[in-house]
């Protein structure tokens, strides 16, 4: 397995001071950026212009999570900006294999996300096209939700599939990750953890990141 990675979500950051907020998480492995369009999910956040500014404001890798319709059109544009990882939702992609290959061709890591009710089985044959698989542990669209323990068996099945393939695909979880839940997700097989309020609500974000990394290890 990959060593535990912590990707704080800037959804919980102060949007009026994003450059400063990114500096608070400089010890993280990447900054997780939630792009929502108020269509695929019932919330609206940021898009290409803001992400372009973020790319110029930080040396942290950007882990872009597209909760949008038509990622086949939009996802490659985030890769073109120099974002290190771009995640599209399987439920929204028209041609996920082609999209994953296009992201890699643009120099980005290709990643695919699944909602809680979406099974992994239909997508196992395309794992080799991915650099990361994201399993949502809450319903996408809002921060601050409680971790869904019913996803743990799904994480275990995904872990086995990744290991059978050679273990090079990162297995990310997103939603309700905190000091109280990260060990359960790690024990099930996750190795990359998106944490929002657990980091940005802490008095010391760096200490929160270090604690989460230790617990996941």
Ordered alpha helix ranges (H), the chain? 18-24, 48-57, 71-80, 96-105, 152-165, 182-188, 197-200, 205-216
Catalytic one of 29, 37, 131, 174: 174
Ordered alpha helix ranges (H), 81-175? 96-105, 152-165
32 labeled binding residue: yes
Q: Contact 205/8 with Cβ under 8 angstroms?
A: yes
Return d(Cα 208, Cα 98) in angstroms, integer.
38
Q: Is 72 a catalytic residue?
A: no
39 labeled binding residue: no
Find the length of the chain: 217
Q: Contact 190/172 with Cβ under 8 angstroms?
A: yes
Catalytic one of 29, 34, 37, 191: 34
Q: Is 174 a catalytic residue?
A: yes
Return d(Cα 29, Cα 163) in angstroms, integer.
22
Cα three-residue angle 11-15-19, rounded to 5 degrees: 105
Return d(Cα 181, Cα 195) in angstroms, integer.
11
Return d(Cα 158, Cα 119) in angstroms, integer.
10
Query: Which segments are annotated as binding site for substrate?
Result: 9, 65, 141-144, 174-176, 196-197
Query: Which segments are annotated as binding site?
Result: 9, 32, 34, 65, 141-144, 174-176, 196-197
Active site residues: 34, 174
């Amino acid at each position: 397995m990959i060593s535990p990675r912590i990707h704080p979500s800037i959804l919980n950051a102060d949007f009026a001071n994003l450059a400063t907020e990114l500096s608070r998480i400089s010890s993280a492995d990447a900054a997780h950026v939630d792009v929502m369009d108020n269509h695929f999910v019932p919330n609206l956040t940021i898009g290409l212009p803001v992400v372009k500014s973020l790319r110029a404001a930080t040396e942290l890798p950007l882990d872009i999570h597209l909760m949008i319709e038509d990622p086949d059109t939009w996802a490659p544009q985030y890769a073109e900006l120099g974002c290190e990882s771009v995640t599209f939702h399987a439920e929204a992609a028209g041609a996920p294999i082609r999209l994953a290959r296009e992201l890699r061709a643009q120099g980005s890591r290709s990643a695919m996300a699944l909602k809680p009710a979406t099974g992994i089985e239909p997508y196992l044959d395309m794992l080799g096209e991915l650099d990361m698989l994201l399993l949502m542990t809450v319903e996408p669209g809002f921060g601050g939700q409680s971790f869904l323990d019913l996803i743990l068996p799904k994480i275990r099945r995904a872990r086995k599939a990744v290991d059978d393939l050679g273990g090079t695909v990162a297995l990310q979880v997103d939603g309700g990750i905190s000091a109280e839940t990260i060990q359960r997700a790690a024990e099930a097989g996750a190795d990359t953890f998106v944490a929002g309020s657990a980091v940005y609500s802490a008095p010391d974000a760096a200490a929160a990141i270090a604690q989460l990394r230790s617990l996941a290890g």
